[in-house]
Amino acid sequence: MGLASIALGGNLHSAFGQPEETVRAAMRRVAEFGTDAKMSSLYRTRPVGYAEQPWFVNAVMQMETRLSAGELMRELLRVEAEFGRDRSAGVGNGPRTLDLDLLLYGGEVVDTAELTLPHPRMVERAFVLVPLAEIAPGVIHPVTGTSIGALLARLSEGERAECAMVLDA
């Protein structure tokens, strides 16, 4: 069993409804791959990179899974496709129905063509750290050796405020 932390986000309407409904449905679907799932609140967040798009709904979930990190990532990509995401189309960091990122898998450090763990940009993204710190502030980032709560505290107040709007407690 491995403890997986997964980021969820989207900013386009899907067959499941508005982005909030899509993220909630995706949480339920992803929870099927493990046990003891913990889910953060939903947050409305400003787009990063490509700014000319709707704001996102973001969340993080954590669960125990029997799948390996690679197997879980392949399942997450299948779920994205089920929810209408085509990773080969569109603008990088552009609008999407659903984005699922495997952030952490226990203490594993992986760097392959398929998967990089921990997620390479998670430590600089409030839309990841705020919801992850909500459900798992004491989890240690395997490369920095720092807790998620401490990584969040390193972000500026302005960066943290980007994630201040909780949609669903």
SS3 content of the chain, % helix, strand, coil (to 5): 30, 25, 40
85 is a catalytic site residue: yes
160, 152 contact by CB (below 8 A): yes
Find the helix packing angle between 19-31 and 69-82, rounded to 10°. 140
| Structure token pair of residue 140 | 């240690």
> Torsion angle, CA of 56/59/60/66, rounded to 10 degrees?
-90
- SS3 state of residue 78: helix
Q: DSSP label at 163?
A: T
- Choose the catalytic residue: 24, 29, 96, 125: 96
- Choose the catalytic residue: 36, 101, 111, 121: 101
Q: Cα–Cα distance between 103 and 33 in angstroms, integer?
A: 16
- Choose the catalytic residue: 24, 29, 44, 85: 85
29 is a catalytic site residue: no
- Choose the catalytic residue: 24, 29, 44, 99: 99
Catalytic residues: 85, 96, 99, 101
